[in-house]
Amino acid sequence: MLEQLRQLPSTVWLRAIPYALIAAVVIAVPSDLIDTPIFGRPVETRPIDYVILTITAGLIGLIFAIRVPRSEVAESQDTRTVWGGFVSFLAVGCPVCNQAVVALIGTSGALSWWAPVQPFVGLAAVGLLVYTLRLRLRTYQLEACPIPV
């Protein structure tokens, strides 16, 4: 996979930057990793939240920057990428601000159970996005270097 990434044209890497920045803002603003007056966060952010945000935003940017012809496969990869971003949002968000978690296990459960699990949820998001990137690279290679018939 690393060799495939090295072979990508520089235009892909340049296109990945704005996609990654947009992904970072879309995930970080509502989770209050980027402080805004719109959202508040009663629980302090952790350094791992920023690591997960950086890695997942970078992967999302790279996946969307690799252009492949529109097909069911590409749409499936795009859907998987969006889900990876959503899981990343759950991983870095405030544990007591997630209304679904609070409704299911209460505020104390969110702090004692959900908060320690969030880094593993972040790993799941990274895993999903790496898997999607592998699929996107495979699709890109097939389109860029078609097999002769």
pLDDT digits (tens, 9 = 90+) for 13-31: 999 999 999 999 999 999 9
According to the model, what pLDDT value does residue 118 have?
A: 95
Q: What's the total number of domains in the chain?
A: 1
Say how many C-beta atoms besides its own lie within 10 A of residue 64's C-beta.
20
For the residues 58-65, what does the mean pLDDT come to?
Answer: 96
Query: Is residue 149 assigned to a domain?
Result: no
For the residues 102-122, what does the mean pLDDT come to?
Answer: 90
Please name the amino acid found at residue 57: A
% of the chain beyond a pLDDT of 70: 95
Query: Is residue 22 assigned to a domain?
Result: yes
98: its two tokens = 């997630």
Average pLDDT, the chain: 90
DSSP secondary structure, 6-60, as one string = HTS-HHHHHHHHHHHHHHHHHHHTTTTSS--SS---SS---HHHHHHHHHHHHHH
Domain extent, residue 24, equals 2-144
Measured CA to CA, the distance from residue 71 to residue 85 in angstroms comes to 21
Q: In the structure, what pLDDT confidence band is assigned to residue 109 with cuts at 50, 70 and 90? A: confident
Query: Is residue 48 assigned to a domain?
Result: yes
Check: pTM over 0.75? Answer yes or no.
yes
Measured CA to CA, the distance from residue 31 to residue 4 in angstroms comes to 33
**Digit-coded pLDDT (tens) for 116-126:** 999 999 999 99
Is it the case that residue 147 has pLDDT exceeding 70?
A: no
Query: Is residue 121 assigned to a domain?
Result: yes
